[in-house]
A = this chain, B = another copy of it.
Amino acid sequence: MAVVEVSIVPIGVPGTSLSTHVAKVLKVLKESSLQYELTAMGTIVSGDLDEILPVLKRMHESCFGPEVTRVLTQIRIDDRRDRKGTPEQKIRSVMDKLTDR
């Protein structure tokens, strides 16, 4: 199971707010059946990598438009095959050890 973080930034659009563009891109993810969570620095998607990557590609494509001709996309994949690790389990595993100390 893979946990993947994606961040998509359009270049050359006026104004410092990117939220309209982020929302447009997230619409593609929302219409998929993938589990995701929004963070302040990107979106975390979890599931089968073979299902996730095509959706990320569509998200990237959806960012382009009449006024968007350059897009920077960053994808970070944490792919663990020795055991199933959901995003929640990853966080809990750290939190448990943090509390011990």
Tell me if A75 counts as interface (CB < 8 A to partner B): yes
How far is A87 from B101 in the complex, measured between Cα atoms in Å? 27
Q: Is the CB of A77 within 8 A of B73?
A: yes
Within 8 Å CB of A75, what residues of B?
A: 73-77
The interface on chain A, measured as residues whose beta carbon lies within 8 A of the other chain's beta carbons, has a size of: 58
Copies of this polypeptide in the complex: 4
Interface SS majority for chain A: mixed
**A23-B94, A23-B98, A27-B101 given as contacts; is B81 within 8 A of A72 (CB)?**
no
Contact A16 B94 (CB under 8 A): no
User: What is the CB-to-nearest-CB distance from A29 to chain B, in angstroms, rounded to a whole number?
Assistant: 10
A-B contact pairs, 15 of them (CB 8 A): A5-B40, A19-B93, A23-B101, A27-B101, A37-B40, A39-B91, A40-B44, A41-B76, A49-B57, A69-B82, A70-B78, A70-B82, A72-B78, A73-B75, A73-B77
